[in-house]
Structure 1
Amino acid sequence: MARSSRLIVPNRPHHIYQQGNNRQKIFVDDEDYALFMDWLKEASRQYRVDIHAYSLLESRVHLLVTPADETGMARMMQWIGRHYVPCFNKKYGRSGTLWEGRFRTSLVEEGEWIMRCSWFIEMQPVACGLANRPDDYLWSSYRHHAGIQPSPLIRDHAVYWNLGNTPFAREMAYKGFFGHSDTRENAEMEKMLLKGWPLGSKAFLKQLEASTHRQFRMGKKGRPPKKEK
């Protein structure tokens, strides 16, 4: 069966997810993380993809980005792979692929959903047991958004700028956003992002389904009811 094409809309935010083959580690030490960050910064500049949030974990990568065109994200991820994977393989005496298939991407609705997606990404180190708090983890964008350590990789989305009129106001508002969590909603969001489905309100998903002729919402389990004669 042919793979469905990715849903990519230029100048709109997208979540990117990629994991190691068989969930193996793609980062072993700080040097690996730093090298990947360098390649990501260069590739995002080269292919005109704004990075709004990121989280680099031991076996996977989460990004929130906005591409300038339909091909930029794929070219960026391919470029990183061509540079990072050979270095990783040489360093650890391995060969072959590092990634488990192609990366997945999800279109993200504008507005508060951008902040929800950013929250999801930056809370991953805590959810995975790699840190007790998001500000303890060095390889995510939380420290940038919270005003702890600016990241040259990040180009903040307009939604973040609208959180306040000053850097301090934006940082406080952003940290306050992390104090609220709906476990059920977060689980649903994770399910959709890992499937590569768009992230947003029911109205947003319904509109996308109508315009793309795809289904992005879970149907009811079981056989459809029989029509009465």
Structure 2
Amino acid sequence: MQRGINRRSCFRRHEDFRSYLAALGETSGHYDVSIYSFVLMPNHVHILAMPAREDSVSRMMQQLGRKYVSYFNKAHSRTGTLWEGRFRSSMINSERYLFACYRYIELNPVRAGLARSARDYKWSSYRANAMDLPDGLVQASSEWLALGKTDGARAKSYQQLFASGTEDHDEQIRVALRKGRPLV
């Protein structure tokens, strides 16, 4: 998770969101990091990723931050930092939390009142994971692949995961992110 400094907006227009996603695609490919889920909120970002190497996520986020801040500062005639310090992360050491994290991330716009449902929010991975609409960025986790025999069946099973409650895990996820602790 990475938050805009002083909780300020880090995306002001659609082109900002598109630029960030393009940079995320480029840097995740360069550092061999699989992106499973993401959401770009007006003042912060959540990414669920699986690195090929131990330092891949840190290096990806550092390069992504540099690329996007350079773009944003030029596009909006500003200088200085955009992010509130280093990104925060938490390892997921339990399969039971994996889909809870997918839901936590992709339901963020609904909780924030930016969308009525996850499918209505354009700047997340929900459409790729739940509606079988590939976006060129999201990759399938082995757990997502186990949801069904076809992509359509997997997407339908994934949608059903969103019908179940998530509140019980939400606070645990928030605490793990805030303190940098693994979810076990």
TM-score bracket relative to the smaller structure? over 0.9
* Structure 1 unmatched ranges of 5 or more: 1-16, 201-229
The equivalent position to 2:4 in structure 1, one of 20, 25, 35, is 20
User: RMSD of aligned C-alpha atoms?
Assistant: 1.3
Q: 1 CA distance for matches of 2:94 and 2:25?
A: 24
Q: 1 CA distance for matches of 2:179 and 2:121?
A: 26
In the TM superposition, 1:36-185 aligns within 5 A as 36-185=20-169
How far is 1:60 from its partner? Answer: 0.5
Q: Is the 8 A contact 2:132 2:155 kept in 1?
A: no
* Structure 2 unmatched ranges of 5 or more: none
More helix by share: 2
Aligned pair in 2 of structure 1 residues 83, 182: CA closer, same or farther (>3 Å)? closer
Deviation digits for residues 71-107 of structure 1 (CA, Å, limit 9, x no counterpart) = 2111111111221101111221211111101011100
Q: Is the 8 A contact 2:2 2:86 kept in 1?
A: yes
Q: Is the 8 A contact 2:20 2:68 kept in 1?
A: yes
Residue-pair matches, total? 184
TM-score (normalizing by structure 2): 0.95
How far is 1:70 from its partner? Answer: 1.6
How far is 1:184 from its partner? Answer: 3.7
Aligned pair in 2 of structure 1 residues 182, 88: CA closer, same or farther (>3 Å)? closer
Partner AA of 1:198 in structure 2: P
Computing the radius of gyration over CA atoms, which structure comes out larger, 1 or 2?
1
Match of 1:208 in 2: none
Deviation digits for residues 16-39 of structure 1 (CA, Å, limit 9, x no counterpart) = x11011111110111000000000
SS of equivalent residue, structure 1 residue 107: coil
Partner AA of 1:179 in structure 2: A
Q: Is the 8 A contact 2:12 2:42 kept in 1?
A: yes
TM-score (normalizing by structure 1): 0.77
Q: Is the 8 A contact 1:135 1:142 kept in 2?
A: yes
Identity percentage of aligned residues: 39
Q: Is the 8 A contact 1:193 1:199 kept in 2?
A: no
Partner AA of 1:56 in structure 2: L
